Structure 1
Amino acid sequence: MNYRKKKIKVGFTTGDINGIGIEIFLKVCCKKKILDFFTPILFGSPKLCFFYKKILNMEINNIREIKNFKEVVDYKINVFNIWKEDIKFESIKINHPESGKYPFSSLKTAVKALKEGKIDVLVTAPVNKKSMNFKNFSFFGHTEYLKNVLEGEPLMFMIHDILKIALVTNHLPLKRVSSELSIKKIIKSIKILHQSLIIDFSIEKPKIAVLGCNPHSGDNGLIGNEEKSKIKPAIDNFFQKKGWLIFGPYPSDSFFGNQKYINFDGVLAMYHDQGLIPFKTLTFNQGVNFTAGLSHIRTSPDHGVAYDIAKKGIANENSFEEAIFNAIKIFKNRKEYMKLNSSKLS
């Protein structure tokens, strides 16, 4: 079979057009021989790429506008032109409705292509949730949007070689976390995490740590009772009967302070900052945000739009590059898992 036909098609969203998304996209795609491994398709506008090429003074000669997927060419930066109007990108201000309009249309078109099999995986650039949250986008972020348009139950899963940590709750105010936690929700999260570690990361018998919710995991009920009433029952009454290696709940401070995380394949945190603060401290600019549990693969870098350094040419593209190669690896792992399990059934 022709090698070129087997190359994985990676779709990209533009992210916030005033952020660092296009800069890090171009930086990665310009690396020597990197397009040997995948074929990029950006959903946006060639004009946006040329706008950033000029600002950053980058030597790029392989940007190619396409109008349909039959025009995709390997070893080129394929840009699916979805914005037909003459856009003055330099005049669009941060937090203006216009700055949310374009990244949303990029995301919507890219996800449609993902569902239709026009691209194999999707890598999303960072967005500004405030500018995205206009009348046509009533979601807290990518994870919530993908839950609405793809099959499956999404789980926010931050991944790196040294630490993989998923979240029971995502973008919630801290005061709502306790009321959102339930035995059923924790069980569902562990199921998705367990399955993802097996299928997406080829770990045959995953060992998972579950964190507590309160300081010192509640101190036997002195500080809080979520550990006793919700987290421990979810572990004991269901998973140990299956023979799964699920342990906890652990106090999060000592769990990370004593490096207990190195003994586990995956960690389940109860809320956003409990998981992302240690993850980003340990892996920043190398970690990846992966949405587990969905029918299709989506990854993104572990950082935001970074307006303070945008258009200066100093943004670090490492996490974005890791997002690409993790998406490719997960895609291949899923195919291999399906192949092995279909052969067992036949």
Structure 2
Amino acid sequence: MIQKENIIVGISIGDLNGIGGEIVLKTFEDARILDFCTPVIFASAKTMNFFKTHFKSGINFHNINNISQLTTGKVNVFNCWNDPVKIEFGKEDVTIGRYAIKSLEAATKALKDNDVDVLVTAPINKHNIQSEDFKFPGHTDYLAQQLEGESLMFMVTESLRVGLLTDHVPVKDIVEHISEDLIVKKINTVYDSLKRDFKIGKPKIAVLGINPHTGDNGVIGSEDDAVLRPTLKKIKDEGKLVYGPYAADSFFGSDNYKNFDAIIATYHDQGLIPFKTLSFGQGVNFTAGLNKVRTSPDHGTAYEIAGKGKADSSSFKEAVFTALQIYKNRFDYEELTSNPLKKANK
């Protein structure tokens, strides 16, 4: 891994009928960000010029058909298609879903080929992207297949990090997915990410219970006692600072979360409801555990405000800066772990 002064950020444009185009424009209208990175938007010149005109943006795009044509200090647009696209803000459209996947696939290929250093994904519609060729519930599952490592949905801000044991799983199936192997794998992924991606030397992790009140000694379910507690004890006996299970209903309201470097929730809403309540608009969805860095904003396509110029770009901008910081942290970590003398002198 080579440290770069100007990191190349690949951007998949997401659902064209949503707010993706708007928040990408708003993020890079501040030219100061180009001092830190070089963005490459995977879409088309025609599409991005449509957004530019519609939102009255002053951005001047540098259009390229090959990554070798990329220019630093510019907002580059990599042409993934040349045909005109009918954009109807706020409308769910299967055709638009296909363009979202074209963008994602091209950006992911560039990431795998080291043509871009990090990937930031604008929101997609999980329904209209489905096809015979693309059967994934979202970005995380697709990238887990495409990239090396053990993926984990990790919602992060500067002061709050929430990982998930299970992510896009129906509530009725959650317990079936939770096993000792899964718990160990996910906790290790969070632990390693905290050290490598966030520069935390001795991570302290809390794990939330599966059942209300962590089962109340078997009165409200046996899974916490049968699976979760013994597995956490094994992990803690290995020397990791892992605590729990904690009753989820009071954990965040009591501010207990502030005592930990990360919290692992057992299912999607258990973790994301408090995370988004505490940090909405500033949070970032980071796919931890992969050999490449990918982030996204903590919101969806927001069809109800698409095209109206009302979208808040804060979370997307945070996603860009988080990707840059994690990329730099990984470089520092690899330098430190590969150089024992530097580690000893630190």
The two structures have a TM-score, normalised by structure 2, of 0.95
Among 231, 235, 247, the residue aligned to 1:234: 231
- After TM superposition, give the deviation of residue 91 of structure 1 in Å: 5.7
CA distance in 2 between partners of 1:14 and 1:81 (Å): 12
Question: Which stretches in structure 1 are left out of the alignment for 5+ residues?
Answer: none
Q: Write out per-residue CA displacement over residues 143-192 of structure 1, whole angstroms, 9 at most, x where no aligned residue.
A: 11011111111000000112100001011110000111111101110000
CA distance in 2 between partners of 1:279 and 1:46 (Å): 36
Among 273, 292, 308, the residue aligned to 1:296: 292
> Which secondary structure state, in structure 2, belongs to the residue aligned with residue 154 of structure 1?
strand
Matched, 1:31 2:30: yes
Report the counterpart of residue 69 of structure 1 in structure 2. 67
Q: Write out per-residue CA displacement over residues 195-218 of structure 1, whole angstroms, 9 at most, x where no aligned residue.
A: 000000000000000000111111
- After TM superposition, give the deviation of residue 267 of structure 1 in Å: 0.5
Report the counterpart of residue 80 of structure 2 in structure 1. 82
Residue identity in the other structure for 1:53 = K
CA distance in 1 between partners of 2:87 and 2:202 (Å): 52
Q: Write out per-residue CA displacement over residues 233-270 of structure 1, whole angstroms, 9 at most, x where no aligned residue.
A: 11102x12221100000001111110100000000000
Report the counterpart of residue 150 of structure 2 in structure 1. 153
Report the counterpart of residue 251 of structure 1 in structure 2. 247
Q: Is the deviation greater in 49-58 or in 308-317? A: 49-58
Report the counterpart of residue 222 of structure 2 in structure 1. 225
CA distance in 2 between partners of 1:120 and 1:40 (Å): 10
Superposition pairs of residues 306-317 of structure 1, within 5 angstroms? 306-317=302-313
Report the counterpart of residue 97 of structure 1 in structure 2. 94
Q: Write out per-residue CA displacement over residues 284-338 of structure 1, whole angstroms, 9 at most, x where no aligned residue.
A: 0000000000010000000000000011111000000000000000000001110
- After TM superposition, give the deviation of residue 49 of structure 1 in Å: 1.2
Report the counterpart of residue 190 of structure 2 in structure 1. 193
- Work out whether residues 217 and 227 of structure 1, in 8 Å CA contact, stay in contact via their aligned partners in 2: yes
Question: Which stretches in structure 2 are left out of the alignment for 5+ residues?
Answer: none
- After TM superposition, give the deviation of residue 32 of structure 1 in Å: 3.9
> Which secondary structure state, in structure 2, belongs to the residue aligned with residue 338 of structure 1?
helix
- After TM superposition, give the deviation of residue 345 of structure 1 in Å: 8.4
- After TM superposition, give the deviation of residue 58 of structure 1 in Å: 2.0
- After TM superposition, give the deviation of residue 55 of structure 1 in Å: 1.4
> Which secondary structure state, in structure 2, belongs to the residue aligned with residue 6 of structure 1?
coil
Q: Is the deviation greater in 270-279 or in 69-78? A: 69-78
Report the counterpart of residue 275 of structure 2 in structure 1. 279
Residue identity in the other structure for 1:57 = K
> Which secondary structure state, in structure 1, belongs to the residue aligned with residue 288 of structure 2?
strand
- Work out whether residues 89 and 307 of structure 2, in 8 Å CA contact, stay in contact via their aligned partners in 1: no
CA distance in 1 between partners of 2:88 and 2:186 (Å): 43
Matched, 1:168 2:171: no
- After TM superposition, give the deviation of residue 80 of structure 1 in Å: 0.4
- After TM superposition, give the deviation of residue 89 of structure 1 in Å: 2.4
Matched, 1:20 2:16: no
Residue identity in the other structure for 2:289 = G
- After TM superposition, give the deviation of residue 94 of structure 1 in Å: 3.0
Supply the RMSD in Å over aligned alpha carbons: 1.5
The two structures have a TM-score, normalised by structure 1, of 0.95
Residue identity in the other structure for 1:10 = V
> Which secondary structure state, in structure 2, belongs to the residue aligned with residue 89 of structure 1?
coil
- After TM superposition, give the deviation of residue 59 of structure 1 in Å: 2.2
> Which secondary structure state, in structure 1, belongs to the residue aligned with residue 232 of structure 2?
helix
Matched, 1:339 2:338: no
Report the counterpart of residue 52 of structure 2 in structure 1. 53
CA distance in 2 between partners of 1:137 and 1:121 (Å): 22
Q: Is the deviation greater in 32-41 or in 93-102? A: 93-102
CA distance in 2 between partners of 1:228 and 1:169 (Å): 18
- After TM superposition, give the deviation of residue 6 of structure 1 in Å: 2.8
> Which secondary structure state, in structure 2, belongs to the residue aligned with residue 325 of structure 1?
helix
Report the counterpart of residue 203 of structure 1 in structure 2. 200
CA distance in 2 between partners of 1:92 and 1:278 (Å): 30
Residue identity in the other structure for 2:224 = E
CA distance in 2 between partners of 1:136 and 1:160 (Å): 34
Report the counterpart of residue 268 of structure 1 in structure 2. 264
> Which secondary structure state, in structure 2, belongs to the residue aligned with residue 129 of structure 1?
coil
CA distance in 2 between partners of 1:295 and 1:32 (Å): 29
- After TM superposition, give the deviation of residue 93 of structure 1 in Å: 8.1
Identity %: 49
- Say if 1:341 and 1:78 are closer, same or farther in 2 by CA, change over 3 A: same
CA distance in 1 between partners of 2:211 and 2:89 (Å): 44
Matched, 1:321 2:330: no
Q: Is the deviation greater in 90-99 or in 176-185? A: 90-99
- Work out whether residues 97 and 134 of structure 1, in 8 Å CA contact, stay in contact via their aligned partners in 2: no
- Say if 1:93 and 1:309 are closer, same or farther in 2 by CA, change over 3 A: closer
